[in-house]
Structure 1
């Protein structure tokens, strides 16, 4: 009697999942495709641990991630340890403590899983699959542009159709806000209204503040400064403070370099995007696929992070959320990440030596092969092979003749054992 789905779900904590072979193959395809692009751009892998001492980990976490960290007592050390909620702080620690004698810049990449506390509601994952890069030691707009161009190339390499990279600049916002007579709860409410694009709510929050017309105009413009490259010119016409204007100058340099890479058509701007305001120090960006409401990648500049571990260095990077990519590209991945085994070998005779040797021969050629060890008739083996997504069934007779059945179209041909051993043999 099958176990009901709701009973299976009750066996796991909320926010984590089992991934069966088809989905697991898609996740593996996503990971390997991203890592191949990272490698082409000169990034080398690091593998951080699954546990860190909480005190050390928290040095590199913003307030939001600190609240989402799983922590518990380590009986061996007597200290609090934690499952990292993000891999970037781990890479920052590794650079600051293990790689500080190496010449800059450092191009590092990774893939792994992190855990985060989330609200107990549908659609919130506690376990997040990440694959990303960190570029340590460069503060130029070219480094920011490299991250964005890489993210575009990754999405193209995965066969994504329509997508955009939405670029922000937290220094632009800080320049607008730094001289306003506001702090505490009021400042947080203003920030939230800008992030929501709530013009009327923002106007109410500013109504009783003693602002110059210029300062009021700059703040009120923030929710409207999103769109194509024309946004940069609109922003330049609005702001007068030096900090925001420098941020705009940096963005223009980034856009110029993205045009060299030929990826500018995938770029939009949102100068009211305030994600990671307590963490990022410059350009930020998110990747969105058309028709999917959640970002599939997040990135940006974080020049203060390695300094938390005693090694100041400018840095930028990005990471893909593989589960968001999986859901966004699920149908497309049916074509790209097919979970198949090439050959099931059927032999009814008592002596299985030939079947075992044949399987070894196929594997040495890079052809995946398994022998149907369970005793059953040919029809049973064919039914099993179809259900388990084999491409072919090889049927061995006592006379060592071999029938090869193509399960895709039902066609059949005879092959000899010597021909399979030949270097030119292909299925």
Structure 2
């Protein structure tokens, strides 16, 4: 049994390791994650999307209908003792939304504007060091086959990133049908398609040319494929690609991409856009526009998505669709030192009661919470310095002392934990949102 004031100095006597690729998130980090998610959700709400909550488990054969080979290879599976069937932990939420829309919402009018927040698990190579647990906040717009729908996704992503305080970020736009049109026209052997795709994704021009040397395709097609890693830059890339490409599918893809960018000009987000026609890292279910968002200082995409017109059809309900998701932990990596995110960890008040009667302390705590302040009571009996030290370590901004010797009957004493500066306030002033100014005024007077 632990008593108040007892300090555990050697917790290592209990071993509680975690599987590789997952983490505990202590309150400071959890507060930041919650702050980021709430900012994302506020934008989704403002754009007219409604939240959906998906299950943690699915039958593997049902979930597999909405996943390509890549995602199936990253899925955690195990047997259900109740049914004997194979269960799966979803590696991505979009296939779940597609299933729900197709099987439970098909009678409702289109389009469906849905957003979600959740965690998924993906198998990862042990030596990669990558997390197997991914925090996703995303949207799905189902029922619209329109460049404006695709542009809406990109514009929302930009709005979220701006709202979180990012500058200098980029949204890389691609089109999976442009790449597939070239590859289909080339009729390459299966043995070379996969390594060629990897070389294109890594922008390895010499490796691409080397892989094509032994293939029986025309020089023009070889040139089209060899140029893919270099088709990166501004919208002039679309014009350059149009001069090179010969097949109709790729040409239609370029027209579609140009239309989306034209609409994004109206949104006023052109400065954040780049075009990358060699970007082919979209999930297997993507069919059209794809995009990824990158912020300074983070080595992975903070958001990604695109069009996936065939996914709901796998569950018996054909409908065009587009969507994207934020990787919240990647966002956190880019925001970890931003003042607003740091401030999200803090709480407002800790009440320290020097009176024998607890009634006043409890009543003031209730009124503070009703006024929108966070407030905790220091129930443990300890001295003022110990309580102040606790408040500082718990990121509580102010210690509220009831019954301080230097206060009048209608006054309370506030101590700011950051600098231990104290000031007497009346009960009315306590509920003023500008309390920090009172500390600063007092400092000026003392000066």
TM-score by length of 1: 0.94
* C-alpha distance in 2 between matches for 1:170 and 1:245: 12
Moved more, 341-350 or 30-39: 341-350
In structure 1, stretches of 5+ residues that fail to align are: none
Deviation at 1:208, TM superposition (A): 2.7
Identify the residue that residue 422 of structure 2 maps to in structure 1: 412
Query: Are the aligned partners of 2:68 and 2:283 in contact in 1 as well (CA < 8 Å)?
Result: no
* C-alpha distance in 1 between matches for 2:156 and 2:216: 45
* C-alpha distance in 2 between matches for 1:204 and 1:192: 13
Q: 1:218 to 1:337 in 2, by over 3 A?
A: same
Query: Quick one: which of 343, 347, 357 aligns to 1:351?
Result: 357
Identify the residue that residue 379 of structure 1 maps to in structure 2: 385
* C-alpha distance in 2 between matches for 1:75 and 1:211: 53
Query: Quick one: which of 154, 162, 169 aligns to 2:160?
Result: 154
Query: Are the aligned partners of 1:26 and 1:333 in contact in 2 as well (CA < 8 Å)?
Result: no
* C-alpha distance in 2 between matches for 1:400 and 1:348: 15
Q: 1:201 to 1:14 in 2, by over 3 A?
A: same
Identify the residue that residue 347 of structure 2 maps to in structure 1: 341
* C-alpha distance in 2 between matches for 1:2 and 1:260: 61
Matched residue of 2:161: which SS?
Answer: helix
Query: For each residue in 1:338-357, what CA deviation from the matched residue of structure 2 results, as whole angstroms up to 9, or x when unmatched?
Result: 31121111113332121111
* C-alpha distance in 2 between matches for 1:425 and 1:227: 48
Query: Are the aligned partners of 1:195 and 1:223 in contact in 2 as well (CA < 8 Å)?
Result: yes
Query: Are the aligned partners of 2:205 and 2:229 in contact in 1 as well (CA < 8 Å)?
Result: yes
The alignment's C-alpha RMSD in Å is: 2.0
Query: For each residue in 1:224-250, what CA deviation from the matched residue of structure 2 results, as whole angstroms up to 9, or x when unmatched?
Result: 111111111110111121111111000
In structure 2, stretches of 5+ residues that fail to align are: 1-8, 436-447
Q: 1:163 to 1:141 in 2, by over 3 A?
A: same
Deviation at 1:277, TM superposition (A): 5.8
Matched residue of 2:100: which SS?
Answer: helix
Query: Are the aligned partners of 1:170 and 1:277 in contact in 2 as well (CA < 8 Å)?
Result: no
* C-alpha distance in 2 between matches for 1:367 and 1:189: 57
Matched residue of 1:222: which SS?
Answer: helix
Query: Are the aligned partners of 2:305 and 2:325 in contact in 1 as well (CA < 8 Å)?
Result: yes
Identify the residue that residue 226 of structure 2 maps to in structure 1: 220
Query: Quick one: which of 192, 205, 213 aligns to 2:211?
Result: 205
* C-alpha distance in 1 between matches for 2:88 and 2:434: 50
* C-alpha distance in 2 between matches for 1:385 and 1:22: 14
Query: For each residue in 1:11-70, what CA deviation from the matched residue of structure 2 results, as whole angstroms up to 9, or x when unmatched?
Result: 111111111111111100110000101111111100011111111111101111111111
Matched residue of 2:211: which SS?
Answer: helix
Identify the residue that residue 396 of structure 1 maps to in structure 2: 402
* C-alpha distance in 2 between matches for 1:209 and 1:377: 81
Query: Are the aligned partners of 2:336 and 2:342 in contact in 1 as well (CA < 8 Å)?
Result: no
